[in-house]
Copies of this chain bind each other. A is one copy, B any other.
């Protein structure tokens, strides 16, 4: 396929003298093929072309065919900038997040993109390298200039709340992973319920108490899981062991596992995500503590790989696809009704998946 000089060939519609004279080659080109070009070739007005392009009624079949033929011949494609200008909207949703590297984020984004596409919306990604205030602010400022009708924020919203940051007006917002349900539309996995299921599962198996490896302190999701873990233990009147601080990485889970291996009392652990659970399993394995013989382990996320850990990991399944779906649904409702943010929190349920890493304690 020859892409090297197509612009020349299409930017000079048949017989078209360059407007404004001066045939300087570097001049700003007339962008591709416009309705006017099609109209000229088809021998109709550009309004008729517009009608055909948008499937409006009131165009006689013969004319329509003629226009379609001209479109094909010239390779006409509508100019979305002009469309957006005309309509005042872009049919695009912005997604602002720290990182795509976490499975949860990338799967959520994927679901968002898929559902948005089904609704005729495109997704614009705004990743933020380092979650500093400045970068967040910068991203939002950029966001304001971006061609975006709405924004989905996948991160802790409090990072935006220093007062100087202002969400651009006229842009609708849905937030994931945050407790800002009183000010924004929030869609999130039901972290607390998931954690409760995990801890109760371990207690039900007969463990006296459950240890815990946390996520990073900055993560709202992590905090909720830790809170729920503590709450379940307290409700059940069990001792609450000191939580081990993790950061979502397998490495931090490994470190936690090394510590736990030295705790003879420990028979059960709830790890705040599967990657840390992987590191923890390895540490326990290295130290000769068997899972689930000596220690039961529950993770969170249900990575596709979790079933293939050694042993297969019991974990809390998150439905990222559903989270993405609801984000899109919610934000598009706002867009379509021209409504503002509707505060409220929409929680997606979790499911405990029991595999081989949990068992009753040795009596």
Contact = CB atoms under 8 A, between A and B. Distances in A.
Size category of the A interface is 35 or more
A258 interface: no
B117 A127 contact: yes
Interface stretch (A12-20, A58-66, A143-151, A218-226): A143-151
By DSSP majority rule, is chain A's interface helix, strand, loop, or mixed? mixed
Copies of this chain, how many?
Answer: 2
Interface string A246-276: 0001110110000000000000000000010
A245 interface: no
Contact of A7 (B6, B146, B338, B341): B338
A106 B117 contact: no
Contact of A304 (B3, B147, B166, B249): B249
A132 to B, nearest CB: 15
A278 B32 CA distance: 50
Interface string A331-362: 00000001111000000000000000000000
Given A4-B341, A123-B124, A125-B125, 17 more contacts: A3-B341, A4-B340, A6-B340, A7-B169, A29-B88, A31-B88, A80-B90, A81-B81, A85-B85, A100-B113, A101-B304, A122-B125, A122-B147, A123-B125, A253-B308, A282-B308, A282-B310
26 contacts: A1-B166, A1-B167, A3-B169, A4-B341, A6-B169, A10-B169, A10-B170, A32-B170, A75-B166, A75-B169, A77-B145, A79-B85, A81-B85, A84-B147, A92-B124, A99-B110, A100-B106, A101-B106, A101-B107, A114-B129, A117-B126, A123-B125, A124-B125, A125-B125, A250-B307, A281-B310
